[in-house]
Amino acid sequence: MDKKSGCSFILKGDICYSASPTQFDARKNAYVVCVDGISQGVFDELPEKFHGLPLVDYSDMLIVPGLNDIHVHAPQYTFRGIAMDLELLDWLNTYTFPEEGKYEALEYASAAYDIFVDDLMHSPTTRAVIFATLHVPATKLLMDKLEATGLKTYVGKVNMDRNSPEFLCEDSAETSLVATRKWIAEVKGTYKNTLPILTPRFTPTCSDELMKGLGDLVQEYGLPVQSHLSENLSEIDWVKGLCPWSTCYGQTYEHFGLLGGSTKTVMAHCVYSTDEEIALMKQAGTYIAHCPQSNMFLSSGIAPIKRYLDEGLNVGLGTDVAGGANLSMFRAISDAVGVSKLRWRCVDQSFAPLTIQEAFYLATLGGGSFFGKVGSFAEGYEFDALVLDDSGIRSVRELSVPQRVERYAYLANEGGMIARKYVSGIKVL
């Protein structure tokens, strides 16, 4: 086969990927072929037609699809791992809003985003859906920095025009929408890897007028949407009071065309979604970003992810830094398994805990599909891959490939190393 570009090659190693929540394909000493950035599939014997392509030998290393963090707050990276003592609404007012206010100063934003972007680059994440702040200049700066990494991201300038401190509140729906239009005009089509996403923070901080205007922007520009939904019980009560016309929290987005349908929408959390809200999300094709670590540390609760999977909803994983402290999506995988067991034991035994395979699926194909054909090595998928050297996680035991992947999710920081990272066939690390 002709090599049409630099993005055509073969990797050899111990390969593992998900084809569905329950189909987990693991092969020792196998080949995965990338042609023009697209996976041609995984093979035990290399087919003749690929013999001319360059081969990189990662024998004894694990090769898995890149991980997709579909909910993370870049400006909150500065206070990850501290300020974990409050629940959501107090946490926002006490720690989060004052921190995000600092991003009005570009010098602060630049220094902070340099660290976030560098750490994201060296993390297992290949694609991410990211909240910035309401500030347009700082959001553009973040996008510039992310673009240079080769990672693929959606980045949102946040909208908030009510129930927020004066230093982090847009004057009116109109002001917020004008700033959003300006931002879209400045960034749309500017980048190859970095795309804008509309970002109403959550219903409590967005007036109906602002929501309506953002729904209009979805139609006008065909942009995707990200927000938060049914994370915390006090939040849900507050939304009932703010939107007495609504039948459930999810409807406060759906009513304005912000729950998905014509474009993709990702809603973080959905810990307490009602049957009605679940039905709305199913109808709209909403993505749920499950953020287990954040749900633990903000004492939010445990989302019924097994139910969502069984009902065929779109689900992926997020770190939700700084609600979650850890940027590693491997940690998100093992946390998803752990909290699902607590849910099964302490809350509701009608849904089984998540298996490691299901959690791996969520981090790869589950969230990856938000970006298109992403998250698998099946033929036709964009070639995002991690080459993992797990030799530093020492053991005298002979482990199977699935066991090594499982162990990596729990023990990545006990000697695991990311040897290479590819996004769309391009080596980024």
Closer residue to Fe ion in complex, CB, 143/268: 268
Contact 210, 199 (CB under 8 A): no
Residues in the chain: 429
Contact flags string 177-206 toward ligand GUN, x per CB under 6 A: ------------------------xx----
Phi, psi dihedrals of residue 213, rounded to the nearest 5°: -65, -35
- Residue number of the CB atom closest to ligand GUN: 323
Contact flags string 57-76 toward ligand GUN, x per CB under 6 A: ----------------x---
For residues 91 and 309, give the distance between their C-alpha atoms in angstroms, rounded to a whole number: 30
Tell me which of Fe ion, ligand GUN, none is bound by residue 382, counting a contact when its beta carbon lies within the kind-specific cut-off of 5 to 8 angstroms.
Answer: none
For residues 229 and 276, give the distance between their C-alpha atoms in angstroms, rounded to a whole number: 13
Query: Measured from the CB of residue 70, what is the shortest distance to Fe ion in angstroms?
Result: 11
Contact flags string 229-268 toward ligand GUN, x per CB under 6 A: --x-------------------------------------
Contact 80, 322 (CB under 8 A): yes
Judging by DSSP bridges, how do beta strands 125-131 and 152-156 pair with one another?
parallel
Query: Which range touches ligand GUN (CB under 6 A), out of 33-41, 88-96, 117-125, 376-384?
Result: 88-96
Query: Measured from the CB of residue 231, what is the shortest distance to ligand GUN in angstroms?
Result: 5
Q: Could you say which of 69, 170, 235, 320 contacts Fe ion (CB under 5 A)?
A: 320
Query: Measured from the CB of residue 373, what is the shortest distance to Fe ion in angstroms?
Result: 26
Tell which positions 405-424 bind ligand GUN, by CB under 6 A: none
Query: Which range touches Fe ion (CB under 5 A), out of 248-256, 305-313, 317-325, 350-358?
Result: 317-325
Please give the distance of CA 229 from its chain centroid, rounded to a whole number.
Answer: 15
**DSSP per residue, 278-326:** HHHHHHHT-EEEE-HHHHHHTT-----HHHHHHTT-EEEE---BTTBS-
Query: Alpha helix locations (H) across 222-285?
Result: 233-242, 251-254, 275-284
Contact flags string 264-303 toward Fe ion, x per CB under 5 A: ----x-----------------------------------
Closer residue to Fe ion in complex, CB, 35/303: 303
Collapsing DSSP to helix, strand or coil, 132 comes out as coil
Closest CA to 252 of 262, 69, 235, 367: 235
126 lies in the site for ligand GUN, by CB under 6 A: no
Tell me which of ligand GUN, Fe ion, none is bound by residue 358, counting a contact when its beta carbon lies within the kind-specific cut-off of 5 to 8 angstroms.
Answer: none
Query: Measured from the CB of residue 381, what is the shortest distance to ligand GUN in angstroms?
Result: 30
Instruction: Match 């034991």 to its residue by tokens.
Output: 345
Closest CA to 301 of 268, 271, 340, 278: 271
Give contact residues for ligand GUN (rule: CB under 6 A). Answer: 73, 88, 92, 96, 201-202, 228, 231, 294, 320, 323
